[in-house]
Amino acid sequence: MIPELGQFALALALILALTQGTLPLVGAARGMPSWMNLARPAAQGQFVFVAIAFGCLTYSFINNDFSVLYVASNSNSALPLQYRIAGVWGGHEGSLLLWVLMLSLWTMAVSVFSSHLPDDIIARVLGVLGLISVGFLSFMLFTSNPFDRLLPAAMDGRDLNPLLQDPGMVLHPPMLYMGYVGFSVAFAFAISALLSGRLDATWARWSRPWTTTAWMFLTLGIALGSWWAYYELGWGGWWFWDPVENASFMPWLMGTALIHSLAVTEKRGAFKSWTVLLAIFAFALSLLGTFLVRSGVITSVHAFATDPKRGIFILAFLVIVIGGSLALFAWRAHRVGLGGHFEVVSRETFLLTNNVLLVVAAGAVLLGTLYPLFLDALGLGKLSVGPPYFEIVFVVLMAPALFLMGVGPLARWKQASLPELAVRLKWAFVVSVVTALLLPLTMGQWTPLASFGLLLALWIVASSVTTLWSRLKQTPGASLSKKLRAQSRSYYGMLLAHVGVAVFVVGVTMVKSYEAEKDVRLAIGDTVELGGYAFRFDGLNEVKGPNYTAVRGTLTVTRGGAGVATMYPEKRIYNVQKNAMTEAAINTGFTRDLYVSLGEPVGDNAWVVRVQVKPFVDWIWGGCVLMALGGLLAVLDRRYRVAARARTREDALAAGAAAAS
Amino acid sequence: MKRWQWWLLPLGIFLVLVVFLGVGLTLNPREVPSPLIGKPAPPFELPQLHEPQKTFSQKDVAGKVWLLNVWASWCAPCREEHPLWVELAKANVAPIYGLNYKDKRADSIAWLQRYGNPYVLSVSDSQGRIGIDYGVYGVPETYVIDKRGVIRFKQIGPVTPTVLKEKILPLIAKLNENT
Amino acid sequence: MKIRKYLILLTIFLCAVTSAHAADDAALERRVQRISEELRCLVCQNQSLADSHAELAVDLKNQVREKLKQGASEKDVIVFMTERYGDFVLYRPPVKATTWLLWFGPGLLMVAGLLALFLRLCRRATLAAAPALTAAERARAAVLLGNHSEPDHR
């Protein structure tokens, strides 16, 4: 009963989405308020029904309803509760339902937090979001129904892939989808601006908080995925330039370019068409990611069960949505005016240069990801494009962008002077160079790559300090704390996010330059030394988990004789799927991680054990969290509390009128 | 290019991309084509499965069009394609030689006894070294080699009746025509 | 209890493969590791040879080790692999005619993008600059600014 209820709810949601996607758009084009006003209730109704459907699927998982094919394929009665819930989005059909739930959530949010928007704009934005919903809901109902029955019902389920049975899996997809789907809001704003012909700074102001929030979630989602791969997959890597990872990274790059471009458009009303194009690109890359993961076009460990029929559907959807928007762009965008004037050297230019570099980086990642497909399609052979390519290309493209990150915030809008900037940043530059040359020596070995990476990171921090100092000097105020409080939250958000990037760069540089690894055969009692730490293999015993049995090793770690930690790596066999899983033991520290994983047994009570010391690896994800926090600060900026502002303005006008009369 | 045409550039690039993606749907990204096609079959000299004191080399079949089938007793898909080889052996179209890949002698002999032996003979590649030379990355795989010892075709995965009819048999016929 | 423990070990043993590690020669191992990281495992195609525990991966790693011991250079090993498995096995695509676009594309795109930006900015600057305010407009602005002080937006 419940699955059928869920399916029915989806069908109702589809009908509401169709309404939401057609009538308000027509109403906005023809100026019919009654049709435009259908948008909000349709959006809210759609959310209710999608939530009901999601609830039904979750219920089926929790209650082990193996008469539902999707539940039988992705769950098991012995699976702990939290993973039964996470199993809802563990496979293709359920993850699509999660996508649609996120989309209806964002749509709901837009319909609620948009009282200050004109009716035709909100009608168009919700209308576009409705059309996207129609696409995904029909995709689900016609090709990937999570509520398909399995009759006769299975005795027990096939279990969730053991790799997915951990906390990272519970958080990573929802966070990631919040980001992906969030860019659809920026996209909807862009399309509605093109449709209405009202492409101005106001549009950028409306769009900005939504885009920044989506970007924030995507940052966290990608960071979670990387951290999860690190501790779950067992060999200490945290980014593989796997096609599906790239599929999430490209929208992030484009989204970063977009939030910077929106700053130019909002502040100066300039480069409006370019910003619209970026918004379309960001969402297009989200959709492309969906296509790549689910169509079987590329090999990836992340790819869902592949089915070319589904691939055709998504491709058709891609053509309609993106092809349509780019056609609309070609038609409408060139009529837009130039906007605010600015000199060749100005903050606008720095922001736009950042844009070019980020877009080219996204393009390079796209090229590398799809190149094997291009060659194969042209019959020119098969090749692979892996980490060696991406690392070289990405670093070369991003290094200038990181350098500019220090200069941009200090430059004035409209007109800046290079000599003046050079003078102001002289101190920051010197400090960065000197520190970057000396710091690697503390790690024991000087490498040019380590120095260069540290230089970029230190440069960002030093120039951010310089910018803040210069800003505080210009701010009127009696005391330092008053001056600090006078700055807007979005200003601190920017500084925090940039510092987050610096922290990230430190993490990547240090790990790549100084990580150490040893793969050795250890018998009980043997010790292996690495990076100043001594790892003693103390014992092995058998452990039973809720749905697995494992061999657990015990290693005692000391440094200079003093005890540091005891680590328990495991090799698990899950009862249902019978595959062996390596659970690495990680000792987390501020300046390094110790990473131990069991390899294979060799001989009598001896194992091949892999021991790694990874300096500053947690700074990678720490940096990402700082970036996301920066985004959060920017969104919480007081100027977005529109209602509060409107009130204060009314009060001020009233007081002024009373005083004048 | 006129000014307004620049605005169509993103759309144009997108459509080209879509065409490639569409073609991509028809391809198999996991398949690794062989770089050895058109090159001489890598040389080997391996002990025969049934008579390990004797060896066999690819030189011994020079002058004939022949098939090399990589198989193992532990390989499930091999069982699927095996009846086709048994049939083909009876038809006497071309000699079929087996490369017994990373297998145990006793298991292999028993397997052939159970499912039929279409091979003129099989050689034992117990370490898989010759397999590596031939670019084997899975089992079963099959090679069609011509009279001069050049590899002309490689089938990755089990042979199906369609592949046999449309690719392998016509190729063997064509290669046999040339002197 | 002991039998169960050994059965588990045996199962794991059967699922994985014992690799005869020449862990004594650390420098050789580092070279093997470095090369293996650049090669794709053909069985589980999303892992490098270094990370994979598949049988073929272990065999190929052993081949790499042997070849290095025999005095082959890293380039020779790469050639050995591509002769048998094609370019697909390399994670670092070779630079040849079919990959020029791949290797030089991003750099060219960056140069082209920055150039296009620069040209556009220059053209902008030569177009009508912001018109100056008239005296009356200036006076009006002063009045408005005097009555309202907006917080500076970033």
The string of pLDDT tens digits covering residues A429-478 is 999 999 999 988 888 888 999 999 999 999 999 999 999 999 888 888 88
The string of pLDDT tens digits covering residues A15-61 is 999 999 999 999 988 888 999 889 999 999 999 999 999 999 999 99
B11 with A291: Cβ contact below 8 A: no
C47 and C105 part of one domain: no
| A597 CB-near residues (< 8 Å, 6+ apart) | A234, A235, A236, A569, A582, A583, A584, A585, A609, A610
C61 and C109 part of one domain: no
- Whole domain around residue C112: which residue ranges? 99-127
In a domain, C51, yes or no: yes
Quote the tokens at residue B88.
């083909």
Q: Report the gap between the CA of C73 and the closest CA in chain A (Å).
A: 19
Domain final position from C69, C94, C119: C94
- Identify which of A278, A288, A284 has the alpha carbon closest to the alpha carbon of residue A254: A278
In a domain, C48, yes or no: yes
- Angle, alpha carbons B163-B166-B170 (nearest 5°): 115
C18 and C41 part of one domain: yes
Angle between helices A2-30 and A119-143 (to 10 degrees): 140
pLDDT band for A248, please (50, 70, 90 cuts).
Answer: very high
Torsion sign over Cα A151, A157, A159, A160: positive
CA–CA distances in Å: residue C16 to residues A235, A309, A401, C52: 15, 35, 45, 10
pLDDT of residue C18: 39
Strand-strand pairing, B96-101 and B122-125: parallel
C113 and C87 part of one domain: no
C65 and C111 part of one domain: no
In a domain, C145, yes or no: no
Residue C9: CATH number of its domain? 1.10.8.640
Q: Which of A300-309, B106-115, B158-167 has the lowest mean pLDDT?
A: A300-309
CB within 8 Å of chain A, chain C residues 73-112: 86-94, 98-99, 101-103, 105-107, 109-110
User: Hey, of B32, B102, B139, which one would you mutate to test binding to chain C, going by the most C CBs within 10 A of its CB?
Assistant: B32
Residue B7 contacts A, CB cutoff 8 Å: yes
In a domain, C9, yes or no: yes
Q: What DSSP line would sit under C2-50, residue for residue?
A: HHHHHHHHHHHHHHS------TT-HHHHHHHHHHHHTBB-SSSTTSBTT
Q: Which of C45, C59, C83 sits opposite B35 (nearest CB)?
A: C83
- Identify which of A275, A295, A276, A299 has the alpha carbon closest to the alpha carbon of residue A287: A295
C15 and C81 part of one domain: yes
Q: Token pair 């609309």 is at which residue? A: A328
Its pTM surpasses 0.90? no
**Chain A hits for C114, Cβ within 8 Å:** 353, 356
Q: Report the gap between the CA of B130 and the closest CA in chain A (Å).
A: 23
B25 with A295: Cβ contact below 8 A: yes
Helices and strands (H and E) in chain C: how many = 6, 0
Q: Report the gap between the CA of C131 and the closest CA in chain A (Å).
A: 10
Give the pLDDT mean for A121-136.
94
Tell me the ipTM for this assembly: 0.83
In a domain, C25, yes or no: yes
Give the pLDDT mean for A228-235.
84
C61 and C112 part of one domain: no
C53 and C114 part of one domain: no
State how far the Cα of A111 lies from the Cα of A116, in Å rounded to an integer: 11
pLDDT band for C132, please (50, 70, 90 cuts).
Answer: low
Residue C150 contacts B, CB cutoff 8 Å: no
State how far the Cα of A258 lies from the Cα of A251, in Å rounded to an integer: 10
C39 and C15 part of one domain: yes
Query: How many C-beta atoms surround the C-beta of residue A581 within 10 A?
Result: 19
**Chain A hits for B18, Cβ within 8 Å:** 315, 318-319, 323
**Per-residue pLDDT at A108 exceeds 90:** yes
In a domain, C11, yes or no: yes
pLDDT > 90: percent of chain A: 53
**Chain B hits for A370, Cβ within 8 Å:** 17, 20
**Chain C hits for B127, Cβ within 8 Å:** 59
In a domain, C53, yes or no: yes
- Identify which of C25, C114, C126 has the alpha carbon closest to the alpha carbon of residue C69: C25
B18 with A315: Cβ contact below 8 A: yes
Q: Which of A277, A323, A382 sits opposite B32 (nearest CB)?
A: A382
C53 and C118 part of one domain: no
The string of pLDDT tens digits covering residues A136-179 is 999 999 988 999 998 888 888 888 888 788 888 788 999 999 99
C14 and C90 part of one domain: yes
C87 and C21 part of one domain: yes
Nearest residue of B to residue C83, measured between CA atoms? B35
State how far the Cα of B129 lies from the Cα of A654, in Å rounded to an integer: 90
Residue C15 contacts A, CB cutoff 8 Å: yes
Q: Token pair 């020669």 is at which residue? A: C25
Give the pLDDT mean for C121-141.
74
**Per-residue pLDDT at A661 exceeds 60:** no
What is the rounded average pLDDT for all residues in chain C?
78
Number of domains in chain C: 2
Q: Which of A300, A341, A371 sits opposite C129 (nearest CB)?
A: A341
Residue A572 contacts C, CB cutoff 8 Å: no
Residue B153 contacts C, CB cutoff 8 Å: no
Residue C8 contacts A, CB cutoff 8 Å: yes
The 8-class DSSP code of residue B40 comes to B
Residue C80 contacts B, CB cutoff 8 Å: no
In a domain, C142, yes or no: no
